[in-house]
Amino acid sequence: MAEKQKAKNSLLARASDFFDLPKEIALNLPLVTIIGASEVNIENYKKIAEYGPERVQINTSCGVFKIEGKKLVLKQITSEAIKITGILKNIGYIT
Amino acid sequence: MIVAIWNFIRGFVTVEVTGRATERFINMAVHRDIYIWDAQSSPDGVFMNVSLKGYKELKACAKKTGCQYRIIAKKGFPFVARRYGKRKLLPIGALFFMFSVYILSTFVWAVEISGCERLAGFEISEFCAANGLRPGAFKSRIDEDGVEKLIMKRFADIAWVNVYIRGTRATVEIKETLPLKIIVDKTTPCDVVAAKDGVIINVAASLGSPVVKTDDVVRKGDALVSGKLEIKRDDAVIRTDYIHAEANVLAKVYYRINFSVPFKYSEKQFTGNIYKHTGFILFDRKFSLEKTPPFKCFEQSSEHKRFSLGEDYPLPFIAIVTTYKEFVPIEKTRGLDEALKLADKIVTGRIIREFDIESDIIEKKINFVENPDGILIKSIITATEDIGREKPLWKTRDGAGGPAEDPAGDPADEDENGQTND
């Protein structure tokens, strides 16, 4: 199952590369935008895994996205996107 | 910011969610299309803002996730409206206010005249008022084009006029014509006479024969350069021509300025006590509770402030703030030196203010007589000026100067019959 998914994904990845399609739409990947050192926008996320003022974890299709910082606030939450503001320190995927 | 205003209009609730898995609660709420913003951790759980519509669905989420929530604050217009909804008069008052503002905005409340340089602005505004364009006039009754035409007809020196109404302000924009050049009619025979008493320095006649020399003393009205030209042969006048004399006559002119400077004077010392009083002008009617300030000596100044909705909607309400500043008069005496310094300052000030730009001051003499009370200043100012003025040899007849019957012909024939008066 996983193999099949991977093969499909790589085919799609190659196709989207070939046609210059935006990957986040073609492959259902999250689009993470960092604005300065105080704002992160995550589009196409799955759900909030953990929320605290110093750590936020968000499930996405390619793993858990972890944001560490201070005074983190979920500024805006909709089903498509989530905006997090605060003092950002460490951002990355837990794989 | 815009979003915040929109949220305020729609109304929102700040709730505190407590429990084991507040993230689940948020996820579920988001899944149900509830808009959540400004979620931040609180000591016990999470604070978050939820729209009014979303708030109703929180109950189901709480039940499923086992979280509790409670309202911290209700914000926004719907709550305000609910609070004031019981007061029947309030919305009526608000409506009345809006209605009255609308009614007021259908009138012109300020008329501005711009572009007046030589013309007097108040004359034009009076003329406009007489023709319907005045503060308090109904906007739809004003015929801008008609007023424009009337202004053009009435005032000759206007090249272009534009009347427009923006908001409750009517503006009359005027462009004046270029000033007419004074056309000197060189066919009119004339003398150059003195406009002021003085001592001649120099006579430079380009046309006509000078009758005065340097260092001659002339009185006002004396002929300086004659336009009468006698053509002689062997000391016998064979013909007399009358020409338009033209000359630049430089003369010393003496001005006397006399005044007295007393030794004793009082100076205002402001105590810093200020008394303010506000009055109103409502539809050209003054409402003010005139009060005399509690000071014996004061300086008064007032400031007019017009209420206005934005820049284009001046309203017929003007606040007048009158400020009274208290002072204490202090008697002081000054010495002779100080008085003389002051006198010099006064004289210089008067020269700057009153003298013609083209006159050169060559001497400023200040004499004084000392009295027990003060000094009497007798200053003489010497200036060089062009004192020549053209004066026609005879009064003009029906507009045309001089020999009107035959201007092209030889003027001499005509002039011998004509009366000369010099």
Task: Specify the pLDDT at position B212.
Answer: 83
Compute the distance between CA of residue A1 and CA of residue A14 in angstroms, rounded to an integer.
20
Task: Specify the pLDDT at position A7.
Answer: 63
- Do A78 and B40 lie within an 8 Å CB cutoff? no
- Do B41 and A51 lie within an 8 Å CB cutoff? yes
Q: Which residues of A touch B7 (CB under 8 A)?
A: none
Q: Would the pLDDT of A62 be above 60? A: yes
Among B2, B16, B27, the strongest candidate for a mutation testing the A interface, having the largest count of A CBs within 10 A, is: B27
Among A58, A67, A73, the strongest candidate for a mutation testing the B interface, having the largest count of B CBs within 10 A, is: A73
CATH of the domain at A90: 2.60.40.2000
Q: How far is A38 from chain B (nearest CA, A)?
A: 14
In a domain, B94, yes or no: no
| A-B contacts at Cβ under 8 angstroms | 44
As given in the structure block, the two tokens for residue B72 are 């911290």
Summarised one tens digit per residue, pLDDT across range B240-258 is: 888 888 888 888 888 888 8
Q: What distances in angstroms separate CA A9 from CA A26, A45, B38, B143, one per listed residue? A: 9, 18, 36, 75
Mean pLDDT of A68-73: 93
- Do B23 and A75 lie within an 8 Å CB cutoff? no
In a domain, B373, yes or no: no
In a domain, B298, yes or no: yes
In a domain, B288, yes or no: yes
Q: Which residues of A touch B48 (CB under 8 A)?
A: 74
Summarised one tens digit per residue, pLDDT across range B162-175 is: 888 888 888 888 88
In a domain, A87, yes or no: yes
Q: How far is B2 from chain A (nearest CA, A)?
A: 14
Rg, Å, chain B Cα set: 41
Residue B420 — pLDDT band, cuts 50, 70, 90?
A: very low
In a domain, B111, yes or no: yes
Compute the distance between CA of residue A18 and CA of residue A21 in angstroms, rounded to an integer.
8
B77-84 vs B2-10: helix axis angle to the nearest 10? 40
Residue B73 — pLDDT band, cuts 50, 70, 90?
A: very high
Question: Which among B345, B279, B374 is positioned nearest to B318, based on CA atoms?
Answer: B279
Task: Specify the pLDDT at position B396.
Answer: 55
Q: What distances in angstroms separate CA B193 from CA A3, B231, B403, one per listed residue? A: 119, 22, 21
Q: Which residues of A touch B46 (CB under 8 A)?
A: 51
Look at B67 and B180; give whichever has higher pLDDT: B67
The ipTM assigned to this model is 0.81
Q: Which residues of B touch A73 (CB under 8 A)?
A: 38-40
Summarised one tens digit per residue, pLDDT across range B31-44 is: 888 999 999 988 88
Task: Specify the pLDDT at position B289.
Answer: 67
In a domain, B348, yes or no: no
Mean pLDDT of B87-100: 87
Mean pLDDT of A53-68: 93
**How many domains, in total, are found in chain B?**
4
Task: Specify the pLDDT at position B336.
Answer: 79
Are B336 and B269 spatial neighbours (Cβ–Cβ below 8 Å)? no
In a domain, B143, yes or no: yes
- Do B37 and A76 lie within an 8 Å CB cutoff? yes
- Do A74 and B36 lie within an 8 Å CB cutoff? yes
Nearest to A77 among B22, B36, B41 (CB): B36
* B interface with A, Cβ–Cβ below 8 Å: 22-23, 26-27, 30-31, 33, 35-41, 46, 48
Residue numbers of the domain that contains A42? 29-94
Q: Would the pLDDT of A5 be above 90? A: no
- Do B38 and A77 lie within an 8 Å CB cutoff? no
Are B316 and B135 spatial neighbours (Cβ–Cβ below 8 Å)? yes
Scanning every residue of chain B, which has its alpha carbon at the shortest distance from the alpha carbon of A56?
B23
Scanning every residue of chain A, which has its alpha carbon at the shortest distance from the alpha carbon of B44?
A52
Look at B377 and A83; give whichever has higher pLDDT: A83
Task: Specify the pLDDT at position B422.
Answer: 41
Among A46, A54, A60, A74, the strongest candidate for a mutation testing the B interface, having the largest count of B CBs within 10 A, is: A74
Residue B290 — pLDDT band, cuts 50, 70, 90?
A: low
Task: Specify the pLDDT at position A40.
Answer: 95
CATH of the domain at B144: 3.10.20.310
Q: Would the pLDDT of B112 be above 50? A: yes
pLDDT averaged over every residue in chain B: 81
User: A44-48, A50-54, B229-233, B394-398: which range is least confident on average?
Assistant: B394-398
Look at A69 and B249; give whichever has higher pLDDT: A69
Give one DSSP letter per residue of B81-97, joined into a string: HHHHTT-SHHHHHHHHH
In a domain, A52, yes or no: yes
Among B36, B47, B49, the strongest candidate for a mutation testing the A interface, having the largest count of A CBs within 10 A, is: B36
Task: Specify the pLDDT at position B395.
Answer: 64
- Do B41 and A78 lie within an 8 Å CB cutoff? no
**How many domains, in total, are found in chain A?**
1
Which helix (H) or strand (E) is A33 found in, with range?
Answer: strand A31-35
In a domain, A34, yes or no: yes
Identify whether residues B392 and B243 lie together within a single domain: yes
* A interface with B, Cβ–Cβ below 8 Å: 47-53, 71-79
CATH of the domain at B36: 3.30.70.260
In a domain, B310, yes or no: yes
Summarised one tens digit per residue, pLDDT across range B292-339 is: 777 777 888 888 888 877 777 777 788 888 888 888 888 878 777 888
Look at A66 and B180; give whichever has higher pLDDT: A66
Summarised one tens digit per residue, pLDDT across range B327-372 is: 888 887 877 788 888 888 888 888 888 777 777 888 888 888 887 7
Residue numbers of the domain that contains B59? 2-82
Mean pLDDT of B88-100: 88
Nearest to B38 among A48, A75, A78 (CB): A75
Are A29 and A12 spatial neighbours (Cβ–Cβ below 8 Å)? no
In a domain, A10, yes or no: no
In a domain, A22, yes or no: no
Task: Specify the pLDDT at position A2.
Answer: 56
Compute the distance between CA of residue B362 and CA of residue B353 in angstroms, rounded to an integer.
17
Helix (H, G, I), strand (E, B) or coil at A64: strand
Compute the distance between CA of residue A89 and CA of residue A92 in angstroms, rounded to an integer.
10
Q: Would the pLDDT of A87 be above 90? A: yes
